[in-house]
Amino acid sequence: MNCKCNLSGNTVVALPPHLRPRFLSGLAQPELAAVLSQATHRKFLGSSVILHEGDSAERLFLITSGRGRHFVLTKSGRKILLHWLTEGQVFGGVALLSVCSNYIASTELLSDGCALMWDRTAIRALVTRMPMLLDNALSIAVTEHIAWLVGKASLSSEDAPLRIADYLISLACGIGKCGPDGVEIAIDNEDLASAANVTPFTVSRFLSQWQRDGILKKGRGRVILRRPELLVIP
6-154: CATH number? 2.60.120.10
Closest CA to 127 of 85, 100, 95: 95
For residue 234, pLDDT over 50 is answered with: no
Query: 3.40.50.300, 3.10.290.10, 3.30.60.50, 1.10.10.10: which CATH number matches 158-231?
Result: 1.10.10.10
CB 124 within 8 A of CB 98: yes
Neighbours of 233 (CB within 10 A): 10
pLDDT of residue 80: 79
Q: Boundaries of CATH 1.10.10.10 in the chain?
A: 158-231
Q: What is the pLDDT of residues 167-201, one digit of tens each?
A: 787 777 767 788 888 888 888 888 888 877 788 89
Amino acid symbol at 154: S
pLDDT band (50, 70, 90) for residue 141: confident
End-to-end CA distance of the chain: give it in Å, rounded. 41
pLDDT band (50, 70, 90) for residue 50: very high
Give the three-state DSSP class for 78.
coil
Q: What is the DSSP letter of 143?
A: I
CB 87 within 8 A of CB 68: no
Instruction: Name the strand (E) or helix (H) holding 42.
Output: strand 40-44
For residue 145, pLDDT over 60 is answered with: no
pLDDT of residue 114: 93
Q: What is the DSSP letter of 22?
A: G
Q: Boundaries of CATH 2.60.120.10 in the chain?
A: 6-154
Q: What is the pLDDT of residues 65-117, one digit of tens each?
A: 998 988 888 888 878 777 788 899 999 999 998 888 999 899 999 889 999 99
Amino acid symbol at 127: V
Amino acid symbol at 32: L
pLDDT of residue 227: 85
